[in-house]
Each structure stands twice: as C-alpha cells, then as structure tokens.
C-alpha cells in the first residue's frame, strides 16, 4: 500500500484569547493553516483581524490558549527567529529613505526597513532580487526609488521583499489599500501567480472587502466582535448568511470566475416625486 502524503501544518491557534487592559479582544479563536492553503480573514472594524495577524507574524502573545507557527510554540521558541521565516506585506511600510527597488527587496533578507550598516549582499542575493523584481512585473525598474513609485509598484515591491527569504508563510495586511482598480487587479493577479510559482507557500490575507480577495483564496475565517462566525473552505464560509451575520447587515454574496462581490439586500427607499 502506498502511504498517503500528509500536508504540514504551518500555523495553528487553539482556543486563543487576548486581553488588553481589562477588555477581552478575542474569545476562544481556533485556526489551522496548512501548506499550500490561502486564507482570508474578514470582518468589520474592531473584529480582531489585526490581532490574529499579530499571532501569525509572531509579534503578539495570546493571553491564553496556544499558538504554533512553523512548528514553534509561543513560549518555547525565540519569536525573532520565527519572524525571519515569515514574509509580511504591509502597504503602510514605514520606509523613510529613498531606497531603490532592489535595495528594498534586499531588506527582506535582513529583516530590516533600511539597509543595515556594513552589510553587503552577495552576488547570488542580487541575482535573486533581480529575478523576483522581474517575476513581479517590475523588470527594468530595479533602480527606481521608493518616493517615485506608484502604489501598485510599491505593493509588488513589498511582495518581492517578503518572498526573497523563501518564507513558508506569507502575511498580507490589506494589500489593496490605496490602490485604484487597475493597480488592485494587477496586484491580485500577482498574488494568484504564487500558487504556480510557490505551490507549498501558505498565506493569510486580511481585508474588509470581498472584492479584494484573490481568486486563489482557498479558505476563509469570518470574525465579529472577537469571535469566529464561520471558518473553513471558502465556498462554504463566504455565504450570504455567514457574511451578513459577521457584518450585522443583510449582504448578498456572489462568486463569478473565482472572484467575489457583495451587495446589500435591503430595498432602496423610493424617492419622493416632485410636485
């Protein structure tokens, strides 16, 4: 008998709570992400999405429950070492220097915002950075500087930065923030391509909007007031009933060619005719 291959667990939260001062923000959250899965975290403002992403990125400790990231359990492993194995894309990247695209991508190897003093990349590092820049649609732009980039170019640069260290887990924190429709679509196409170029990579994407979900999304977790409304395969999770419950508003959900739309189901009030 041929043994079945098992899929490795990349991230697991078990009955996690989080308390800030005297207020409990998260109430018994459980989540398991395996390699090759692409999860979306959705919910209204204040639902707890950013706090959960903090666990995923090994930057936040739970008040109770357990968090395992890349085989390391919080409290038993050095979190800084874990962070070096996680790619993080944050459109609010706090870069202040006018670095070139190539240099920004290389900071993904050092885990810093700026190029560290007295650090020089190896020729292989430079070649890897340039290959990623080309793969992400920025060929010929490696010398362009951060202040001159469009929001779409910045987003793709940050994805290249996150991927240069060959992470097993990629975190995307509202990656479409500030993008126009064309730039958003280009960015989502870039994210979708990762399923082909890095089939074992797992990802967690935070967003408020179903329209901003890549077609490659495989699973979703819906939150409301720090509790799980629904979680699991995307088809059975992002339903009209579940999304309406999470946002406390009647929302009709549709999927077409792998992409999602959401519209209110309340009838519009009829305008009063002029007399």
Per-residue pLDDT of the chain (275 residues; tens, 9 = 90+): 444 445 799 999 999 999 988 899 999 999 999 999 999 999 999 899 999 999 999 988 999 999 999 999 998 888 888 888 899 998 889 999 999 999 999 999 988 899 988 889 999 999 999 999 999 989 899 999 999 999 999 999 999 999 999 999 999 999 998 889 999 999 999 999 999 999 999 999 999 899 999 999 999 999 999 999 999 999 999 999 999 999 999 999 999 988 999 998 765 554 555 54
Cα angle value 138/139/144 (rounded, 5°): 65
Do 186 and 258 fall within a single domain?
Answer: yes
Do 177 and 44 fall within a single domain?
Answer: yes
Specify the DSSP element, H or E, that contains 268: none
Picking from 114, 131, 166, the residue at the C-terminal end of a domain is 166
Is position 4 within any domain?
no
Does the global pTM surpass 0.75?
yes
Do 174 and 113 fall within a single domain?
Answer: no
Nearest CA-CA partner of 188 in 210, 169, 166: 210
Is position 184 within any domain?
yes
| Phi, psi of 85, rounded to the nearest 5 degrees | -105, 10
User: Rounded to whole angstroms, how far apart are CA atoms 29 and 51?
Assistant: 11
The answer to whether residues 104 and 121 touch, using CB atoms and an 8 Å cutoff, is no
Do 16 and 49 fall within a single domain?
Answer: yes
Do 160 and 215 fall within a single domain?
Answer: no
Do 59 and 188 fall within a single domain?
Answer: yes
CA distances from 160 to 106, 130, 153 (A): 9, 10, 11
Is position 139 within any domain?
yes
The answer to whether residues 90 and 51 touch, using CB atoms and an 8 Å cutoff, is no
| pLDDT in the model for residue 267 | 59
Strand runs labelled E in the chain: 9-20, 23-34, 38-42, 64-69, 72-73, 86-89, 169-173, 202-207, 219-224, 227-233, 251-256, 259-264
| pLDDT in the model for residue 78 | 86
User: Rounded to whole angstroms, how far apart are CA atoms 6 and 250?
Assistant: 39
Picking from 142, 166, 190, the residue at the C-terminal end of a domain is 166
Which two structure tokens, joined as six digits, stand for 71? 């085989």
- How many domains, the chain? 2
Picking from 149, 166, 183, the residue at the C-terminal end of a domain is 166
Do 116 and 197 fall within a single domain?
Answer: no
Q: Is 264 helix (H, G, I), strand (E, B) or coil?
A: strand
| pLDDT in the model for residue 43 | 94
Q: Which residues contact 57 (CB under 8 A, 6 or more apart)?
A: 83, 86, 88, 171
Helical packing angle, 151-163 and 123-135, nearest 10°: 130
Do 80 and 171 fall within a single domain?
Answer: yes
Do 78 and 176 fall within a single domain?
Answer: yes
User: Rounded to whole angstroms, how far apart are CA atoms 57 and 63?
Assistant: 16
User: Rounded to whole angstroms, how far apart are CA atoms 211 and 179?
Assistant: 13
Is position 274 within any domain?
no
Do 257 and 192 fall within a single domain?
Answer: yes
| pLDDT in the model for residue 231 | 97
User: Rounded to whole angstroms, how far apart are CA atoms 71 and 60?
Assistant: 17
Structural domain boundaries enclosing 194 = 9-85+167-263
Based on its alpha-carbon atoms, the radius of gyration of the chain, rounded to whole angstroms, reads 20
Do 146 and 208 fall within a single domain?
Answer: no
């Amino acid at each position: 008998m041929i043994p079945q291959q098992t899929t490795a667990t990349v991230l697991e939260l078990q009955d996690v709570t989080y308390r800030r001062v005297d207020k409990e923000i998260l109430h018994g959250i459980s989540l398991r992400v395996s390699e090759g899965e692409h999860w979306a975290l959705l919910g209204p403002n204040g639902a707890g999405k950013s706090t959960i992403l903090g666990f995923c990125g090994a930057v936040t400790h739970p008040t109770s429950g357990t968090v395992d990231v890349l085989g390391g359990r919080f409290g038993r492993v050095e979190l800084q070492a874990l962070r070096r194995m996680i790619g993080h894309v944050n459109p609010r990247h706090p870069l202040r220097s006018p670095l070139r695209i190539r240099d920004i991508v290389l900071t993904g190897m050092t885990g810093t915002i700026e190029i560290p003093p007295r650090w020089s990349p190896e020729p292989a590092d430079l070649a890897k950075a340039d290959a990623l820049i080309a793969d992400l649609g920025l060929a010929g732009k490696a010398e362009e500087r951060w202040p001159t980039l469009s929001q779409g170019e910045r987003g793709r640069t940050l994805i290249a930065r996150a991927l240069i260290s060959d992470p097993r887990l990629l975190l995307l924190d509202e990656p479409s923030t500030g993008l126009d429709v064309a730039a958003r679509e280009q960015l989502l196409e870039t994210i979708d391509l990762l399923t082909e170029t890095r089939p074992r990579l797992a990802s967690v994407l935070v967003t408020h909007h179903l329209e901003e979900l890549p077609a490659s999304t495989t699973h979703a977790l819906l939150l409301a007031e720090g509790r799980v409304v629904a979680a699991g395969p995307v088809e059975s999770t992002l339903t009209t009933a579940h999304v309406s419950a999470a946002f406390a508003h009647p929302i009709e959900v549709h999927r077409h060619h792998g992409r999602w739309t959401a519209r209110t189901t309340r009838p519009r009030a009829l305008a009063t005719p002029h007399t």
